Amino acid sequence: MTTAAFDLDRTLAALADPHRRRVVEMLHEEPMRAGRLAAELGLAPPAMSRHLRVLRANGLVEESHPDEDARVRIYRLQPVAFAPLTAWLEGMQAAWSEQLEAFRVHVEGTGSEGVRNER
């Protein structure tokens, strides 16, 4: 398995959970404290901690601590970690676009004569 395929698999596995996808959506808007993420998602802090641990372990989010209080954890997205997923999705979209265009050309080329001839 290539490194890119491994990274894609890890990213997809981390995003398989709907809570983690929602965390990614929320962090896309702005960095947030773990407590706020938990409150917004209606999760207990230990559950939120487990989700954040998975996202951190897969490089999708990073954790920082403000200088004034090292106990506070602020989470933000790591956009570069989404590159394998983005590349894969773009490749899939291009392949489907080509297939759909070929289908369109075939249907337009066949026109109504092809339908009548089959009857």
Q: What's the CATH number where 9 sits?
A: 1.10.10.10
The domain in which residue 16 lies consists of 3-118
* Cα–Cα distance for residue pair 92/86, rounded to 1 Å: 10
Residue 90 has pLDDT above 70, yes or no: yes
Residues paired with residue 62 on neighbouring β-strands, in sequence order:
76
How confident is the model over 8-30, as a mean pLDDT? 94
Residue 104 has pLDDT above 70, yes or no: yes
The tokens 């702005």 sit on which residue? 30
Q: What is the pTM of this model?
A: 0.71
Total domain count, the chain: 1
H-only helix segments in the chain: 3-14, 18-29, 34-41, 45-57, 83-118
Residue 112 has pLDDT above 60, yes or no: no
* Cα–Cα distance for residue pair 95/33, rounded to 1 Å: 40
* Cα–Cα distance for residue pair 50/20, rounded to 1 Å: 10
Residue 47 has pLDDT above 90, yes or no: yes
